[in-house]
Amino acid sequence: MTAHEFIQSLTAQTPPAELNPIAKALWHDARGDWAAAHNIAQSQEGTPSYDHLHAYLHRKEGDAFNAGYWYRRARKPVFQGALEEEWQALVETHL
């Protein structure tokens, strides 16, 4: 699936079946279901890619302290760009 196809899928009622869990979380996040995305992030705590997702979600929530914790767990620097840029980068990484 391309990033363009992923974005087009956001009009559907359910995420595409072939998405990996992180991409599925980003799909839910883009549709305004932060809790569903957060549940996926929490499902594999300690896995760097899930911890990075977790960091992004708390950054989006406005909880910089908690986001910083998860960026450290993911061994990633705090993203300095816009939330939309980080979302796009995560999507491209996990498709």
* pLDDT tens digits along 69-81: 999 999 999 999 9
- Asked if residue 74 belongs to a domain, the reply is yes
Burial label, 11 (beta-carbon count in 10 A; 0-12, 13-18, 19+): exposed
Res 6: pLDDT: 97
- Asked if residue 42 belongs to a domain, the reply is yes
Residue 94 to residues 24, 64, 88, Cα–Cα distance (Å): 9, 23, 10
- Asked if residue 3 belongs to a domain, the reply is no
- Asked if residue 14 belongs to a domain, the reply is no
- Asked if residue 52 belongs to a domain, the reply is yes
pLDDT in tens, 24-80: 999 999 999 999 999 999 999 999 999 999 999 999 999 999 999 999 999 999 999
- Tell me how far apart the alpha carbons of residues 56 and 5 are, in angstroms, rounded to a whole number: 22
- Asked if residue 71 belongs to a domain, the reply is yes
| Among the listed residues 83, 94, 81, 85, the one whose alpha carbon sits nearest the alpha carbon of residue 2 | 94
Domain range enclosing 68 = 19-94
- Tell me how far apart the alpha carbons of residues 55 and 6 are, in angstroms, rounded to a whole number: 22
**67: alpha, beta or left, given left = phi > 0 and alpha = psi -120 to 50?**
alpha
| Number of separate domains in the chain | 1
Asked if residue 58 lies in contact with residue 29, where contact means CB atoms within 8 angstroms, the answer is no
- Asked if residue 13 belongs to a domain, the reply is no
Res 63: pLDDT: 97
- Asked if residue 12 belongs to a domain, the reply is no
Res 85: pLDDT: 98
